[in-house]
């Protein structure tokens, strides 16, 4: 891998995290006004169209993209991701962007912890120690026992667990399917599942909010596109640490747009989680 490609990959990952942070800000605004399920359903319609457009331009077209020997696994992955997105956006309405993402940042540690039992990967004592440190960070953020523990904080933790499981199942699916196939199933099955639920929660949307909805759809597609390009030009291990930049980007939006505050315990907890996460990525890269 050339140095130029790695640098380009890092820039693409930074762009991806920035776009996803904007997407989360728009999601928080819309979910504060309308039902979360409806918002995600409309976003997924656009996402499915985007996925099918990309697939139709590749060799073999839609038929090749849809071909898989593990349809149940691919379908479950897709439904799991769309459910996780609904849970996470619901967390934004309960806790705000800053605290939701502070808790959600532990998902790489959950992936590391679960990669042993689910994928049969070896997790050494150093990575287990880092996972332990990261979860101390989560506990510091949640503040149990201080009389201010919010049960709502379980919601982004559930989202992190769902996203970690989705990531592991994606890695498992990759043993037999291409990334293009997994991407196709994620968008199409997710859209069908979301429509089956979301059509019962349709609400009329104000004119300006259709503009925000359009922006949400575009940022969703753009973020996935830059992420695909990022992994095309650079190794995942080189760019993955920069995915943590979504946390400061989201925090800026939370503080300046939604007047959220960053409590000291949240900042300390996040520092532990991110530090532990970067260490596990480094150990994984060395082990690989």
Helix H segments across the chain? 3-33, 36-57, 61-66, 71-95, 97-104, 107-119, 125-142, 154-173, 179-198, 207-233, 236-239, 246-258, 264-287
What is the structure's pLDDT at 147?
A: 46
Residue 1: per-residue pLDDT: 43
First to last CA, the chain: 15
Residue 224: per-residue pLDDT? 82
Residue 134: alpha-carbon gap to chain centroid: 18
Q: Identify the pLDDT of residue 189.
A: 93
- Encode the chain (288 residues) as per-residue pLDDT tens digits: 445 587 888 888 889 989 999 999 999 999 998 999 999 999 999 999 988 988 888 878 888 888 888 899 999 999 999 999 999 999 999 988 888 888 888 888 888 788 778 777 777 777 788 878 888 888 777 766 554 456 788 899 899 999 889 888 888 888 888 888 888 999 999 999 999 999 999 989 888 899 999 999 999 888 888 887 887 777 766 777 788 888 888 888 988 898 888 788 888 888 888 888 777 777 766 665
- Structural domain boundaries in the chain: 3-287
pLDDT at 112: 79
pLDDT in tens, 58-83: 878 888 888 888 899 999 999 999 99
Sign of the dihedral defined by the CA atoms of residues 9, 15, 21, 26, in that order: negative
* pLDDT for position 149: 55
- Per-residue pLDDT at 119: 73
Which residue bears the tokens 């929660």? 201
Q: According to the model, what pLDDT value does residue 9 have?
A: 82
Give me the pLDDT at residue 31, please. Answer: 92
pTM to 2 decimal places: 0.85
What pLDDT shows up at residue 278? 78
Instruction: Tell which residue, 170, 183, 187, 148, has the closest CA to residue 49.
Output: 187
Rg (CA), the chain: 19
pLDDT of residue 146: 53
């Amino acid at each position: 891998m050339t140095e130029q490609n790695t640098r380009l990959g890092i820039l693409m990952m930074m762009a991806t995290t920035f776009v996803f942070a904007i997407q989360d800000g728009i999601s928080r605004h819309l979910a504060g006004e309308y039902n979360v399920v409806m918002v995600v359903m409309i976003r997924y319609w656009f996402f499915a169209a985007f996925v099918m457009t990309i697939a139709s331009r590749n060799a073999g077209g839609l038929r090749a993209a849809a071909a898989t020997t593990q349809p149940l696994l691919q379908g479950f992955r897709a439904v799991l991701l769309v459910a996780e997105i609904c849970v996470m956006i619901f967390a934004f309405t309960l806790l705000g962007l800053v605290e939701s993402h502070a808790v959600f940042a532990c998902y790489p540690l959950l992936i590391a912890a679960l990669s042993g039992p689910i994928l049969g990967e070896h997790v050494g004592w150093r990575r287990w120690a880092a996972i332990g440190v990261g979860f101390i960070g989560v506990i510091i953020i949640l503040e149990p026992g201080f009389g201010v523990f919010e049960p709502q904080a379980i919601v982004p933790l559930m989202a992190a667990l769902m996203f970690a499981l989705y990531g592991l199942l994606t890695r498992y699916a990759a043993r037999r399917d291409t990334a293009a196939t997994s991407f196709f199933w994620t968008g199409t099955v997710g859209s069908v599942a979301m429509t089956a639920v979301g059509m019962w929660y349709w609400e009329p949307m104000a004119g300006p909010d259709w503009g925000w909805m359009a922006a949400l759809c575009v940022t969703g597609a753009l973020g996935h596109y830059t992420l695909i390009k990022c992994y095309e030009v650079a190794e995942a291990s080189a760019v993955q640490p920069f995915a943590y930049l979504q946390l400061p980007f989201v925090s800026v939006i939370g503080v300046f747009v939604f007047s959220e505050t960053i409590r000291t315990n949240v900042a300390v907890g996040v520092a532990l989680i991110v530090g532990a996460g970067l260490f596990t990525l480094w150990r994984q890269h060395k082990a690989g």
